[in-house]
């Protein structure tokens, strides 16, 4: 009995999240097909799904593993550029754009996972503020590396250089990544449906991981590292696991995001983007996957919706952020909300008891 109750409570919460995403997708898809949404909104659909993926994956590190990472956009950019290059390289071999997008996303995920392992191994020796600082530096380093990356594609295959296009040594062909100018002239193959599927995939991976043996170990390390070690958990392994899975998912989101445009620059994935994603997670509630999804969607739409007030829109945006932060994270406000909820649920209980008493049949 207990088991059934337990399992269903956990999976009920997961299924509410899946349901919410599916319904939101269906509504937006229907509206789009009826041309009932503005063109600026249509253009936002893919970025929203990409940011939702970023929020879900960062939640795995910040909320579930309890580490502050300030370089999540770095993994997104690794995925974005890997994805663009992979898709271009595969263009000749694979006709179907859907399949090409899928493959480029998978390759981007692998590349970001490798980056996650490389940065994760030294970083996992650190904790707290130090970890935050190193991840911040990582984001900046990746940006600078990409600013100096040149990639070309010709009949002989891919060429890489860290100096300039001339040193690529190409005969004909096309420059895919051109240093600070970023990647240009690749096809827009991302679609809202692909974004929706990636959100679902990211959700399934993260929620399943959280509710497994490995996920419990990750949460144990977060709650009490010494106790986790004392029951035989390899704390480094599980912190690294959360970090790398999160990096891989961010890389996939990056590939989706980039291929919604025809050009992308490294600067797009700077510190500000990392902070923006962190804000999604904090506002949605750390460790609260559903909250993160909602805040990622709303905060991506909000600046667009506030466009009509011109220059004041970023100010409004900041004010809204501060207000929400106050209301969702202020202990006093939270306590009052909690007390209110308690009173309401008690009243309901009382009524139920009264009814049961009247009916003479207690449950």
Partner 1 sequence: MTRDEGTYKAQSEHAAKTETRHEGTYRAQAERAAGKGAPEHRHNRQRTKMVAPPNDYLVPERDALLTPVLECRHLGIDFGGLKAVEDLNLMVGKTEIAGLIGPNGAGKTTVFNLLTKVYQPTRGTILLDGQDTAGMDTARVSREGIARTFQNIRLFDSLTVEDNVKIGLHNQVECGMWSGIFRAPRYWLSEQEFHRRALELLDVFNMADNADDIAGSLPYGAQRRLEIVRALATNPKLLLLDEPAAGMNPVETEELMDNIVKIRDDFQIAVLLIEHDMDLVMGICEGIVVLNFGKVIAKGTPEEIQANPQVVEAYLGKQE
Please, what is the minimum distance in Å from the beta carbon of residue 236 to partner 1? 9
Please, what is the minimum distance in Å from the beta carbon of residue 12 to partner 1? 14
106 CB contacts (<8 Å, ≥6 apart)? 252
Alpha-carbon distance of 38 to 150, in angstroms, equals 37
Please, what is the minimum distance in Å from the beta carbon of residue 357 to partner 1? 25
Alpha-carbon distance of 172 to 33, in angstroms, equals 41
Residue closer to partner 1, measured from CB, 226 or 362: 226
Residue closer to partner 1, measured from CB, 134 or 206: 206
C-alpha 273: how far from chain center = 11
Residue closer to partner 1, measured from CB, 231 or 362: 231
Tokens of 1: 């009995």
Please, what is the minimum distance in Å from the beta carbon of residue 207 to partner 1? 10
Q: Which of 55, 102, 42 is closest to 255 using CA atoms?
A: 102
- What single string gives the DSSP state of each residue in 186-221? ------HHHHHHHHHHHHHHHHHHHTSHHHHHHHHH
Tokens of 334: 């939270």
Residue closer to partner 1, measured from CB, 233 or 321: 233
Coil/strand/helix, residue 120: helix
Residue closer to partner 1, measured from CB, 124 or 302: 124
Residue closer to partner 1, measured from CB, 229 or 350: 229
Residue ranges binding partner 1 (CB under 8 A): 2-3, 5-6, 205, 208-209, 211-217, 219-220, 223-224, 226-235, 241, 245
Residue closer to partner 1, measured from CB, 64 or 177: 64
Please, what is the minimum distance in Å from the beta carbon of residue 40 to partner 1? 36
Residue closer to partner 1, measured from CB, 6 or 13: 6
Please, what is the minimum distance in Å from the beta carbon of residue 114 to partner 1? 17
3-class secondary structure per residue, 313-351: HHHHHHHHHHHHHHHHHCHHHHHHHHHHHHHHHHHHHHH
User: Is 117 in contact with 237 (CB distance < 8 Å)?
Assistant: no
Coil/strand/helix, residue 44: helix
Please, what is the minimum distance in Å from the beta carbon of residue 246 to partner 1? 13
Coil/strand/helix, residue 154: strand
Please, what is the minimum distance in Å from the beta carbon of residue 299 to partner 1? 26
Residue closer to partner 1, measured from CB, 156 or 342: 342
- What single string gives the DSSP state of each residue in 57-112? HHHIIIIIS----S-HHHHHHHHHHHHHHHHHHHTTT---HHHHHHHHHHHHHHHH
119 CB contacts (<8 Å, ≥6 apart)? 71, 134, 135, 138, 247
CA gyration radius for the chain?
Answer: 23
Please, what is the minimum distance in Å from the beta carbon of residue 280 to partner 1? 21
Q: What is the DSSP letter of 356?
A: H
């Amino acid at each position: 009995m207990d088991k059934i109750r337990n399992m269903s409570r956990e999976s009920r919460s997961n299924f509410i999240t899946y349901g919410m995403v599916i319904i939101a997708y269906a509504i937006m898809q229907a509206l789009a097909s009826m041309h009932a949404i503005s063109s600026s909104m249509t253009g936002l659909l893919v970025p929203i799904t990409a940011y939702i993926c970023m929020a879900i994956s960062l939640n795995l590190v910040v909320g579930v593993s309890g580490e502050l990472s300030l370089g999540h956009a770095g993994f997104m950019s690794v995925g974005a550029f890997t994805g663009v290059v992979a898709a271009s390289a595969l263009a000749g071999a694979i006709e179907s754009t859907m399949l090409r997008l899928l493959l480029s996303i998978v390759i981007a995920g692998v590349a970001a996972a490798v980056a996650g392992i490389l940065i994760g191994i030294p970083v996992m020796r650190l904790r707290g503020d130090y970890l935050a600082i190193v991840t911040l530096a990582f984001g900046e380093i990746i940006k600078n590396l990409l600013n100096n990356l040149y990639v070309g594609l010709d009949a002989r295959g891919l060429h890489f250089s860290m100096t300039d296009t001339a040193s690529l040594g190409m005969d004909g062909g096309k420059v895919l990544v051109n240093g600070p100018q970023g990647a240009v002239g690749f096809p827009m193959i991302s679609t809202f449906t692909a974004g929706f599927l990636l959100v679902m995939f990211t959700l399934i991976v993260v929620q399943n991981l959280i509710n497994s043996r490995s996920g419990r170990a990750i949460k144990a390390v977060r709650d009490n590292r010494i106790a986790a070690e004392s029951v035989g958990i390899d704390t480094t392994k599980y912190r690294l696991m959360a970090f790398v899975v999160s990096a891989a998912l961010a890389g996939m989101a990056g590939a989706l995001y980039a291929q919604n445009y025809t050009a992308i620059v490294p600067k797009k994935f700077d510190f500000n983007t990392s902070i923006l994603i962190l804000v999604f997670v904090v506002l949605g509630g750390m460790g609260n996957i559903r909250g993160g999804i909602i805040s990622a969607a709303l905060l991506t739409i909000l600046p667009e919706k506030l466009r009509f007030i011109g220059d004041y829109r970023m100010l409004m945006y900041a004010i809204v952020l501060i207000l929400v932060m106050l209301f969702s994270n202020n202990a006093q406000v939270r306590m009052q909300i909690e007390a209110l909820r308690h009173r309401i649920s008690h009243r309901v209980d009382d009524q139920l008891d009264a009814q049961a008493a009247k009916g003479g049949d207690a449950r």
